[in-house]
Chain A
Amino acid sequence: MAIEELPLAVEHAAEAPPPQRRERGLWRDAFRQTFRKRSAVVGAAILSLLLFMALFAPLLAPYGEREVLIESEGLQPRTEPCIHVSVNWIPDVPVLSTVESFLESNGFSCSPSEPQHLMGLDGNARDVFSRVLYGARVSLGASVAAVSFAVVVGTAIGLISGFIGGRVDNGMMRVMDVLLAFPALLLAIAIVTARGPGLFNAVLAVSVVTIPVYARVIRSRVLSVREQDFVSADRALGVSGPRILSHRVLPNSLTPLVVVATLGIATTVLELAALSFVGLGGDPDTAEWGRMLALERNQLFTSPHLVFYPGVMIMLNVLAFNLIGDGLRDALDPRLNK
């Protein structure tokens, strides 16, 4: 989620009352609520597609992720897409024939004698379509990893800070403020420059930069839950601090966290792509969408397909998580009218 939305997220997290019903009931309800929204359904559909691509890439990809085709097919780098359209089994449906003529007029279609490359070849004569498929693994994996790390660390900080309160709370929140004062991309660039380029460092950098977001949200939740009766009751009974944290506070903090985290994945994908774009993403051979785009950005006018396809994939990735996150937020936020 974007930094600008942080205050509102924090406010909602603070004000949302703890659930009255049992956990499972709430989640099932939320699930149903979310997918009543069409946009969330669309988001889920896109995400499923991306997951499918990521999981089955080796099966779906006609070529290897790093397979260079200079020798094997005698093709030059940055060859145009070649789509076999005049295949007999395509029925004579009007839509399909329009597609066919569109492809033909733009020079994308080619005869079956030439090897098919749906999205053309990249600067090293590798099949872009295959790399796009494999890229789903990296994009999804990296962004989820980055957010997971940030969530774990941020939650820990937020829990401790909110529960203990006092000076510890003050101190930790000041540190979070300092982190938040720097534009995310800048901080990420600095971290990657300090540690060296590479996917791992990029993920780490983006992670660190978003920790304050989760810390703030969790802390806000903790502060409000802390005052609740059932927590006072627990304390009176002598339940230990950590136990209260894990059994009372944490479960009640999950709802805003899930929303923020889902939206956070969207931002992370963008940040990672931006880092690759400025050249700090690492190995040029890994099929990472941001990297693929960055390598070819000077070819926007000569080979737009090399920029277009990775760009669209990034967009779809971000869009999917945004839509789902929005849906979750609407469903889990008790203030909105049903």
Chain B
Amino acid sequence: MLRFIARRLVSSIPVLFGILLATFVIGRLIPGDPCQAALQERATPERCEEFNSEYGFDDPIFVQFGSYVGDVFRGDLGNSVQERQSVTDLLIDRLPVTLQLAVAALVIAVVVGVPLGVLAGSRHNSKTDVATIVGANLGVSIPVFVLALILQYVFALQLDDTPLGLPASGQLTAGVIPEPFYEVWGIGQNSLFEFIANIDLLNAVLIWRWDIFIDALQHLILPAVALATIPMAIIARMTRSSLLDVLGLDYVRTARAKGLRERVVITRHALRNSLLPVVTVIGLSLGTLVGGAILTETIFNLTGVGKTLFDAITGRDYFVVQGFTLVVAFGFVVVNLITDIVYTFLDPKVRVS
């Protein structure tokens, strides 16, 4: 078991290095001169000389890569030209927003998708099954941004003055400035605390302000639902298909032959094993969620990783592109790793060996 974990860790290293290389290349692939991008109309040869030496753009490419790697290990991801903040600070500001959104979407996807999948799988070929399949397929087929726009239209406009009305933006109500929990508690401030404080839901609980919590929740619902639709459909599909796989296995047949009721067969015998592949799916969904977050964030006006990354790519903010892509990719690898480990931990076949 430990050996397995160790082996996975070791095999992740070249991937991580590859990611470093890839993000560096991506950053450099963005066309145009970084100096021109930053100073635009006011870029002159002299100012650009200064700029390039200050940011190291005039070193040979290998030196640049070397210093890039060194910086990353030291935690220095450079500075955003557009936002006048260090990339790390930007991350601390923006990543929590996307995380909150992705986790909320994941929770919705799992809480709705798994039961649906189980329901459909346990009634194979029945009307419920077909309805779920059709629904799941529809869910997977609708473009996120179309769904988001429609949700906005319906809940923010049409249902505006009704109890079902929801706000059109993903941010807190204007003028609401939640105090960071570390200030309320009177403890010191550091990056980790800042990061946690930027997760609005969590922070609201920590400062015991349930009005802010509700506000944050209300604003989070629409974007989370929009984002959750595709993973929900996939999870439902996977759960169903996995359950069907398991239901065809010998030990289930044995259980049935023993005369147990179908429901017991499913819940006590089949379910646990069929949920295993779903764990993998959940882990991998995080990647899709971050990708889909770009569109959702744009439509619901949330300043998260997706939107920042998109702005940085098109605005040629090199260090932000590198830094954010790096973190996202690293995060994905880490999540994969954890998912793998959890899976092998749960899978009795592997545990026994």
- Given known pairs A8-B238, A181-B19, the reply for A194 and B141 (CB within 8 Å) is no
| A277 and B145 within 8 A (CB) | yes
Q: Within the assembled complex, what's the spacing in Å between the Cα atoms of A177 and B138?
A: 30
Residues of A within 8 A of B26 (CB): 190, 194
With a cutoff of 8 Å between Cβ atoms, the chain B residues found around residue A179 in the complex are 22
Residue pair A178, B18 in contact (C-beta under 8 Å): yes
0 or 1 for each of B286-316: is its CB under 8 Å from A? (1 = yes): 0110111011001000000010011001100
Q: Which residues of B contact A186 (CB under 8 A)?
A: 290-291, 294, 306, 309, 325, 328
- Which residues of chain B from 296 to 345 have any CB-CB distance to chain A below 8 Å in the complex? 298, 306, 309-310, 313-314, 321, 325, 328-330, 332-333, 336
Residues A190 and B313 in contact in the complex (CB < 8 Å), given A8-B277, A319-B138, A336-B244: yes
CA distance A183 to B293 in the complex (A): 10
Q: Check B133–A39 contact: CB distance below 8 A.
A: yes
A273 and B145 alpha carbons, distance in the complex (Å): 10
The one of A6, A274, A293 in contact with B144, judged by C-beta atoms closer than 8 angstroms, is A274
CA of A190 to CA of B230 in the docked complex: distance in angstroms? 23
Asked if residues A193 and B141 are in contact (CB atoms below 8 Å), the reply is: no
Would you call B271 an interface residue if the criterion is a C-beta within 8 Å of the partner chain's C-beta atoms? Answer: no
- How far apart are B265's CB and chain A's nearest CB, in angstroms? 15
The yes or no answer to A323 lying at the interface (CB within 8 A) is yes
Which residues from 283 to 310 on chain A have a C-beta closer than 8 Å to any C-beta of chain B? 290, 293, 297, 300-301, 304, 307
CB distance from B32 to the nearest CB of A (A): 10
Q: Is B63 an interface residue (CB 8 A)?
A: no
| Cα(A35)–Cα(B258), bound, Å | 35
Interfacial chain A residues near B298, Cβ < 8 Å: 278
Identify which of A8, A279, A293, A318 contacts B140 (C-beta below 8 A). Answer: A318
How far does the alpha carbon of A292 sit from the alpha carbon of B252 in the complex, in Å?
Answer: 51
**Does A270 make an interface contact (CB < 8 A)?**
yes
- Residue B163 at the chain A interface, CB threshold 8 Å: no
Q: Which residues of B contact A141 (CB under 8 A)?
A: none
Closest residue to A290 on the B side, CB-wise?
A: B143
For A175, the chain B residues whose CB sits under 8 A away are: 18
Which of A6, A182, A301 contacts B284 (CB under 8 A)? A6
Task: Determine whether the beta carbon of A183 is less than 8 Å from that of B328.
Answer: yes
- The answer to whether A278 touches B310 (Cβ under 8 A) is yes
A272 and B133 CA atoms in complex are apart in Å by 24
Q: How far is the CA of A11 from the CA of B242 in the complex (A)?
A: 12
A220 interface residue (CB < 8 Å to B) = no
- Quick one: given A2-B140, A3-B284, A177-B15, are A274 and B321 in contact (CB under 8 Å)? no
Query: Is A65 engaged at the interface, CB distance under 8 Å to the other chain?
Result: no
Across-interface contacts of B248 in A (CB, < 8 A): 335-337
In the bound complex, do residue B15 and residue A181 qualify as a contact, i.e. CB atoms below 8 Å apart?
A: yes
Residues of A within 8 A of B30 (CB): 190, 193-194
Question: Once bound together, how far apart are the Cα atoms of A216 and B137, in whole Å?
Answer: 24
A interface: dominant SS: helix
Residues of A within 8 A of B22 (CB): 178-179, 182
Q: How far is the CA of A319 from the CA of B134 in the complex (A)?
A: 9
Q: CA of A301 to CA of B152 in the docked complex: distance in angstroms?
A: 10
Knowing A38-B130, A278-B298 touch, does A5 contact B238 (C-beta < 8 A)?
Answer: yes
* CB–CB A183/B332 < 8 A: yes
Contact of B137 among A3, A5, A39, A184 (CB under 8 A): A39
Please encode chain B, from 6 to 19, with 1 for each CB lying within 8 Å of some chain A CB and 0 for all others: 00000100110011
Chain B residues, Cβ within 8 Å of A181: 15, 19, 287, 329-330, 332-333, 336
- In the complex formed, the residue of A with least CB distance to B145 is A277
C-alpha gap A186/B22 in the complex (Å) = 13
Kindly list chain B residues whose C-beta atoms are within 8 Å of the C-beta of A177: 15, 18, 333
Is the beta-carbon distance between A322 and B332 smaller than 8 angstroms? no
Q: Does any Cβ of A come within 8 Å of B31's Cβ?
A: yes
Interface residues of B in 230-283 (CB under 8 A from A): 230-231, 234-235, 237-238, 241-242, 244-245, 248, 277, 280-281
**Does residue A315 face the partner (Cβ distance < 8 Å to B)?**
yes
Q: How far is the CB of A114 from chain B (nearest CB, A)?
A: 28
Q: Contacts A181-B19, A194-B29, A194-B30: A323 and B137 contacting too (C-beta < 8 A)?
A: yes
Instruction: Answer whether residue B111 sits at the interface, using C-beta atoms and an 8 A cutoff.
Output: no
B interface vs A, CB < 8 Å? 11, 14-15, 18-19, 22, 26, 29-31, 130, 133-134, 137-138, 140-146, 149, 153, 157, 230-231, 234-235, 237-238, 241-242, 244-245, 248, 277, 280-281, 284-285, 287-288, 290-292, 294-295, 298, 306, 309-310, 313-314, 321, 325, 328-330, 332-333, 336
Q: A5-B237, A181-B287, A315-B142 are known contacts; what are 7 more A-B pairs with Cβ within 8 Å?
A: A3-B284, A5-B238, A183-B328, A279-B314, A293-B146, A311-B143, A319-B138
**In the A-B complex, the 8 residue pairs with the closest CB atoms:** A183-B291, A178-B18, A318-B141, A194-B29, A319-B141, A185-B291, A311-B146, A181-B329
A-B contacts, 14 of them at CB < 8 A, read A4-B231, A4-B280, A4-B288, A181-B19, A182-B332, A183-B288, A186-B291, A190-B30, A191-B29, A193-B314, A270-B141, A274-B295, A315-B146, A319-B138
